[in-house]
Each structure stands twice: as structure tokens, then as C-alpha cells.
Structure 1
Amino acid sequence: MIAMTIAEIAAAMGAQLLRASDPTAVITGLTHTDSRDVRPGDVFVCKPGEFTDGHLFAPVAVEAGAALLIVDHELDLDVPQLLVDDVVVGLGAFAREVVARVRALGTLKIVGVTGSNGKTTTKNLLRTILQEVGPTIAPRASFNNEVGAPLTMLELTEETKFLVAEMGASGIGEIARLVAMAKPDIGVVLSVGLAHAGEFGGIESTVIAKTEMVSELTPADVAVLNADDHRVAGMAAATAASIVWFGLGPNAAVRASDVHSDATGTSFTLTLASGESRPMRFRVLGEHHVMNALAAAAVAESLGVDIDAIVTALESVELAERWRMQVLGGRDGVTIINDAYNASPDSMAAALKTLAQIRTPGQRTIAVLGEMSELGEFSGEEHDRIGLLAVRLNISQLLVVGQNARRMHISTINQGSFDGESSIVDTADEAFELLKNTIQPGDLVLVKSSNSAGLRFLGDQLGELFSW
């Protein structure tokens, strides 16, 4: 973080300063909401949560060396404390001030990324490209909400050239609040789908929320939009920014052609808005990730990165993120694809299509699927749709894990052509016991679910079981 005094941080947050014998003391450490991450000189945010309260862990943070606490009530601890009504709001105000100070230096460029699917992958690809150009800050894991995004922003230093801000939302207004903290120079919208549809209240509300990424951009800014998604394409009317379109179709300025995927990745020809083209081999599994690569390439070109540097960086990436199309196993020719970090109807369908697309003639495919959460009233029909898709793609066997995903199993067994090839268990442990006895040499296995279903650990177990 940039150097700021305790008094300056308090003023930025509108906080009451408590137990600070020296308000001019300078803070340069990182900011955390997890006391286990705190190191000497850091700031600890005592955030109340659904199941516990960060204030309870403040003594641990102080023992670890926290130099400053952000609290909503005074604690009996001999360390400076900033008292605010809402620590999350205070955290956002703190981040906004740090961004503004680094912005004032005139060298920082901010890229905001949103979309129903692909945010984390695109963010990671951008970090890989841009860190070769200059100091780059991007979120760890999926730090993309009202807490995670500010924590990332607070990592800025005077030397930072690029901030890649992943901006997620589960409701209207949330992206707008993040944009107010760090208005992008380049705003990216990847897709609009049914992810979190239950929380948004429908696809129309999702469109409104995602449009917040580009609605405040100025004519000097750039909006990078998916030309193949009609809902994203419609956002062109809502922004004053210049637009760079990406996609597979002829209307895209940044596009992929001659696309071919297999079990080791995807080959395609990358064409930039300048008209320059290069063949490339993208090793992140799944043809759907090509769109994320195109978005990253469009941003990089807009920031002045040349095509050879873009291709070299993209070709260096083997894994978008742990638990995202992560290839494991290998013993006895068994391949485990662990894609169970998250799941929406679109990403579930894309993963199943990849499973079908990369199988070799005669190879058996097994889909181990769990619940797609946060779909609200759409949950039943979307789980039905995925079950039917598994049948249409001729997936060899389906194993559904958890009663919340039961309709996937029911929809498959209702299809005569799939009778007896689908089964259901209640837990990941039961699934593991079943699979370790039924997976055969040469099998191709996909594990996919929302994070809450916990199947990512099942994928790890299977990967370890069939590792060399």
C-alpha cells in the first residue's frame, strides 16, 4: 500500500480515531479481513460476518503485528482503532482514497472486468500479459465483491502501472459502487447469463447490473464488449466510451478463427483490431475460454501491448485457476477435469460440451455433477436442461451428487436412451467411494458444481487417486 498516516486514513473513512498515541504514524502494510494473513504493520478489518464476527479475531491480529484496526465498536486492545458505523463502507472509502492518490500520479491504468462467467480467468490472463509491461495488481482468487475488490485496490503502490479489478455482483448497484471506488479506463463485459439469477431477480436485472460497468465511462475510456452476446452488445447504447468488440463472429474487431480444441487446449488464429493476426496454441482447457483470451487480448491491445507479446503471454498460461478446468490424474490413462470452483447454467453446459468435444473415439466419459446454486425460481428447469444436455451429448455416465441437483438425474433417466446410465448419491464421500471402484482405465471424468457443493475437493481426491 502507499504510505499514509493513521490520521489520513481516518479522514478518508470519516472515522473516529481511538487509542492512537501518534496519529502521524505511517501505515504501509496490507489490509486483511482474515487474521491468519496479518503480518507486522498490516491493517485488520473487523468485519462482521454471517457466521462469526471479525472483532473476535482482533486479538489474534494484534498478536500477529496488526498496526491498525478498523472497527464498529471500540475494543479493549492497545492498538490504534478507526471507529466507523459500517466497516465494509469504511473499507470502500479507504480504497477509494488510495486509488485517487495513485491516480493523481498520472501513470495508473485501471481495467474493470465483469460478466456472468469468465471474470477470474480473464483477470488472470490480463495479469499474465500486463505484468510483463509494468507492475500489475490483480485480485487473489475471486476477490470481486464489496470486500474483496477494495482489499485488492489497497495493494496499490506508487509504482503500480496497471490495476485489474474483477467486479462481481449479486444485485443492482453493486458494480456501480465498485466503479465509484476505481473507475476503469477500460471496462470489460464478458457475458450475461443466469449466474446468481435468483439473487438478481431475473435476467433483465442482471443486464442492468452488468451495464453499470460501462455506463459511467467517458469518451476517453474504452468499453470491451462481447459481440456474440446480444445482451452485452446492447450495452453499446449505454456508454459514451469507444467500443472494442471481441468474439468469434465477423462483427468482432478482436476475434478467433480456425478454432480447434482437444484434450490439451485450443488452437486458433488471433486477429486484433489493428488487423494483425497470429496463430496460437492456448493451453487452458475448454473452447469457451477462447472468449476470455479474446477479451484479454482486446484490453492489452488498447493499452498498447503488441500482438507478439500478447500471444507469448497467453500461450504461457496452462491453468486459469485452481479448480477451473484443472486437468489431474494420468495413471492408467484416466483424466480428471476438476471444474468445481463454481457453476452456472452456461458454465455447466460449456464444461459438458468440452467433455464431449475432447473425448477420443471409444473413450468413456463420466460427468460428476452437483448443484448449481443461486438460481432461485430458475433452478428446477436449469437443472433439467443440464441433464438433457448430458443425454444429447452422449455422455457415457452421469453421477449426480446431492439432492439439490436431483432434477438432473431425473431428467436423464426419463430419457429412454439414457436409462440406467445415471445415478445419484447424497454426498461427495459417497461419490468418491462409488467412483474409485467404477472408473476404468482410459476414462475421461468431469467434476463440476457450484462452490457451495464442495465437489472441488472430490475432484482433488480423484486426481490424487489416479496420479502417477
Structure 2
Amino acid sequence: MHLLASQIAAATGGTLHGPDVEVSSASIDSRSIAGGQLFVPIVADRDGHDFIAGAVDAGALVYLTDRAPDPAVAATAVRVADTSLALADLGRAVRAGLPPRVVGVTGSVGKTSTKDLLAGVLATTYATAASEKSFNNELGLPLTLLAAADDTEAVVLEMGARGVGHIALLCDIASPTVGVITRVEAVHLEMFGTLDDVAQAKGELVDSLPSDGIAVLNADHQIVRGMRDRTQARVLTYGVADDADVRATDIVLDEQLRASFTLHSPWGSTLIALQARGEHQVPNALAAAAAGCGLGVPIEALAAGLSDATLSGLRMEMTTTASGVVVINDAYNANPTSMAAGLSSLARLDARRRFAVVGTMAELGSDGPAAHREVARQAADLGITVIAVDEPAYGDGVAHVGGVGGAVAALGELADGDAVLVKGSRVAALERVVQALS
């Protein structure tokens, strides 16, 4: 969105210092500044104000600051009380000028993939903006709104939470008219506390919807299905359940783990063929279909949008090495639900030997040790050899190694017919194993 510095000052209650120039988007990272942007210095582990001069040198035309502007910095400044709160205020101001098609997507698992699939669906019919990567918090969400083009007709916003009240805050900024909830699982319990707390937090999305909005709920998940009582909006359900409004039958995976199925909906039925890999992407596609059709996307366009949609990186990326080894890079994140889905996908491959190189599943609280042992048990039942990297909680019966080198050494001499899944929480950064294998 193009904004004048004076509009930024008005939206944030700030004071303008310098020429009233125009910016096209915003950044909180001085290393990735593009010319013509607004720089928002965030005070966290490091003070973003220390990088204002560098951001201006890189092309920022305007910057926010909570202190007196530096006269040696040759750019317009807007002085505000708190730069993080000012960024949220800017998000609200931009949202007020957008059309009503603003979709929030949340859930314990699948929200980024659902966001990607829905963006592909809506883009067939509307000029669509969507969260980059996993820009899903109180900083990333307003940055997404500020990055939307002036002609934007629909926006898809991923919404994450670290506790009760966080999604309510994001909804206060974004005012979504459609809310999609994937699943509620016992993940991030170190931050939430209990599964009930997770459900309370995720349900804040449907709490916020207007009466003429749409709540898109997973009919196959009882906790999410029950959230229909928390919203005044119209409810659309999705899943394989017979009573789901949007449902899938005849699910088939090809040799590349890409799912195809027949989609049934109030708007008609059609064959869907996904590029996204894994049967666990089917419910994500159904959620995107329900939201898309609810917003007026024709079912023929819907099928094309789902077929063409690509997912954010490090999610079920499949490659084959020069020696014929199939490597599945699902290293972006991991929790018990997504780990089970990854193992199930690996087991579906036609392979001579199957290995899972796994890292820690972070933020599970007191449930962590048992959850890791359960993953090891599931892998054993599927005939998968587990190599655990820097995580002893997977217990006996698996190979425990240190670092990337240890994982590659434990895999040994791989050959045509072998398949390797690489998966762990973001802190494990196991994509390094994929790079080594490649």
C-alpha cells in the first residue's frame, strides 16, 4: 500500500519530521530493505533504532522512532510513543481501506499450507495478497497488510499464537470476515499450558467474526467442530465426515505422494489434483476450498487454483539425488501430529529402505518425552529406521547422533531404492542434512 508520511503520522498519532514523502511497504529488518520502504525499528533482544542509519542508506525513505530523530540521518522520521504499537496501528489503518475479503487462518498444524492453498484459490478470481512464509504474529501480520498492493481484492493472513489473547489481538488489527481453523493439538504447551488453553486461543478467530462473515471449521476434529457455538458467523465445515459441507472422497496418492480426490460441496463436485505432497494436505485443501467457494470463487477456478498452488519452503519437498535416493525435506517444523503425517507419507513410498532423520519437537512441555517416544514407536511399526539428531528423548531403539555429520554418517551408503525423511522443529534446522545429502 502506498502511504504518505503524513498518513503514517496520522495513523500512529506520531509527529512528522521531514518531507511528506510516499512509501510503498514496510520492513523491520534493515538487511532486507528495498528502496522506497518504511523502516520500523523494533526494540527486542536488539534495539532496531541502532540500524536506522543503515536502513536509510539501503533505501528507506521514512522511519519510525520513539526518540528524537537524528539530524544526521537523511530521511523523514515519524516519532511515535512505541514503534511496535505504531506498526499495529498502521496495519489497522491499511485494513480499513481494504475490501471485506480478509481471511484469517489458524490452527496447531497446517495453517501455513492452508494459507498457501487458499491464496492460490483466491488468486484465480481476485487480486490477492497473503502472508509471506510464516509472517503470523503481531509484527508479521501488519507487515503483510502494508505489503498489499493498492488494487488488492482479497487478503489471506496466517495467525499464530503464543498464548490466550494473541489471536484476539491479531483480529483487532485485521478485522477478518472469514476465519479458518485447521486443528487444535497439544503443541506449544510450554507457552499455552493446556489443550483447553490452545482451544481457547485458536477459537478467538471465530469469536471475532461478524454476523455476515464465514467460519470454516474442521468437521473431522471435534474440538474445532464444537467452535460453531462460539461464532455468530455462517459456518462451513470441511473434512471426510459424511456431514461435512465440503468433503473429499476417493483419495489417491501418486508415486510422488501428490493427492487427488473428488471434492463435494454445495457449489458442485469436481476432481482435485494437488501438487502439494502427503495425504495430510487433503484437509488443508478442503479448508481452502470451503473458504474460496464461500467468497465466490467458481468451482472450476477452485480446482485450477488448488492444482497450481505451491507451498512455502521446507514442507514435503521431494528430490532425488544423483544416486537415486529419494529425500523428503519437511524440516520447517515438527510436532506429534505433523511427525505422524510425515512418517505415514514416507511409508507410502515404494522404497527398499526407509529412514527418518528427526530432530527435536520443541515446546511440548511435560508431554515432550512421551511424545518423542511415541514417534519412535510409530516409526518402528512402519518399518522405518529412525536417526535422532541431538535429541535423546526418542529413547531406545533408535540411532542417536550429534549434528549433521553424525546423521549423514549414520545413514551410511545410500543407494537407488532408499528414501529419507528429514523433519524436526525449526530450532533443529535439519535442512542442513538435506543439503549434505544433495
Per the TM superposition, whether the score is higher than 0.5 is yes
Distance across 1 between alignment mates of 2:269 and 2:159? 30
- Tell me, yes or no, if structure 1 residue 359 matches structure 2 residue 349: yes
Percentage of identical aligned residues: 38
Distance across 2 between alignment mates of 1:27 and 1:156? 15
Q: Is the 8 A contact 1:259 1:267 kept in 2?
A: yes
Aligned equivalent of 1:302, options 294, 298, 310:
294
Q: Secondary structure at the match of 2:148?
A: coil
Instruction: Indicate how the Cα distance of structure 1 residues 108 and 216 shifts in structure 2: closer, same or farther if over 3 A, else same.
Output: closer
- Tell me, yes or no, if structure 1 residue 253 matches structure 2 residue 253: no
Aligned equivalent of 1:452, options 424, 427, 431:
427
Instruction: Indicate how the Cα distance of structure 1 residues 351 and 41 shifts in structure 2: closer, same or farther if over 3 A, else same.
Output: same
Distance across 1 between alignment mates of 2:180 and 2:204? 11
Matched letter for residue 263 of structure 2 = L
Q: Is the 8 A contact 2:122 2:128 kept in 1?
A: yes
Deviations 1:42-95 (A, max 9, x none): 100111232x22222211111012111112333522422223333211100111
Q: Is the 8 A contact 1:168 1:175 kept in 2?
A: yes
- Tell me, yes or no, if structure 1 residue 42 matches structure 2 residue 30: no
1:419 match: none
Distance across 2 between alignment mates of 1:452 and 1:74? 37
How do 1:198-347 residues align onto structure 2 when only pairs under 5 Å count? 198-264=190-256, 265-274=258-267, 276-317=268-309, 319-347=310-338
- Tell me, yes or no, if structure 1 residue 140 matches structure 2 residue 116: no
Distance across 1 between alignment mates of 2:14 and 2:76? 12
- Tell me, yes or no, if structure 1 residue 99 matches structure 2 residue 95: yes
TM-score, normalisation: structure 1: 0.90
Q: Secondary structure at the match of 1:111?
A: strand
**Shift in Å, 1:108:** 4.1
Q: Is the 8 A contact 1:198 1:378 kept in 2?
A: no
**Shift in Å, 1:374:** 1.2
Structure 2 stretches lacking a partner, 5+ long: none
Q: Please give the root-mean-square deviation of Cα atoms over the aligned residues, in Å.
A: 1.6
Aligned equivalent of 1:57, options 48, 51, 57:
51
Higher mean Cα deviation, 5-14 or 74-83?
74-83
Q: Is the 8 A contact 2:239 2:246 kept in 1?
A: yes
Instruction: Indicate how the Cα distance of structure 1 residues 21 and 218 shifts in structure 2: closer, same or farther if over 3 A, else same.
Output: closer
Deviations 1:141-160 (A, max 9, x none): 11011111110011234411
Matched letter for residue 28 of structure 1 = V
Deviations 1:414-441 (A, max 9, x none): xxxxxxxx21112123213433x33232
- Tell me, yes or no, if structure 1 residue 461 matches structure 2 residue 430: no
Q: Secondary structure at the match of 1:331?
A: coil
Q: Secondary structure at the match of 1:428?
A: helix
Distance across 2 between alignment mates of 1:310 and 1:65? 39
1:393 match: 382
Matched letter for residue 322 of structure 1 = G
Distance across 1 between alignment mates of 2:100 and 2:228? 25
1:27 match: 22
**Shift in Å, 1:315:** 1.5
Distance across 1 between alignment mates of 2:81 and 2:189? 31
Distance across 1 between alignment mates of 2:193 and 2:7? 40
Deviations 1:98-123 (A, max 9, x none): 111x23xxx44101101111111111
2:82 match: 86
Higher mean Cα deviation, 199-208 or 84-93?
84-93
Matched letter for residue 102 of structure 2 = I
**Shift in Å, 1:371:** 0.2
1:14 match: 13
Deviations 1:340-395 (A, max 9, x none): 10111111111111111x222x6211010000111122211111111111112221
Deviations 1:147-180 (A, max 9, x none): 1111001123441100111111111111111111
1:114 match: 106
1:184 match: 176
Q: Spell out structure 1 runs of 4+ moving beyond 3 A.
A: none
TM-score, normalisation: structure 2: 0.95
Deviations 1:299-333 (A, max 9, x none): 1101111111111121123x422100000124333
**Shift in Å, 1:36:** 2.2
Distance across 1 between alignment mates of 2:28 and 2:260? 41
**Shift in Å, 1:12:** 1.3
Q: Is the 8 A contact 1:263 1:285 kept in 2?
A: no
Matched letter for residue 359 of structure 1 = L
Q: Secondary structure at the match of 2:374?
A: helix
**Shift in Å, 1:190:** 0.6
Q: Secondary structure at the match of 2:120?
A: helix
Distance across 2 between alignment mates of 1:196 and 1:374? 5
2:371 match: 382
Distance across 2 between alignment mates of 1:88 and 1:383? 37
Q: Is the 8 A contact 2:123 2:305 kept in 1?
A: no
Instruction: Indicate how the Cα distance of structure 1 residues 157 and 331 shifts in structure 2: closer, same or farther if over 3 A, else same.
Output: closer
Q: Secondary structure at the match of 1:134?
A: coil
Matched letter for residue 34 of structure 1 = D
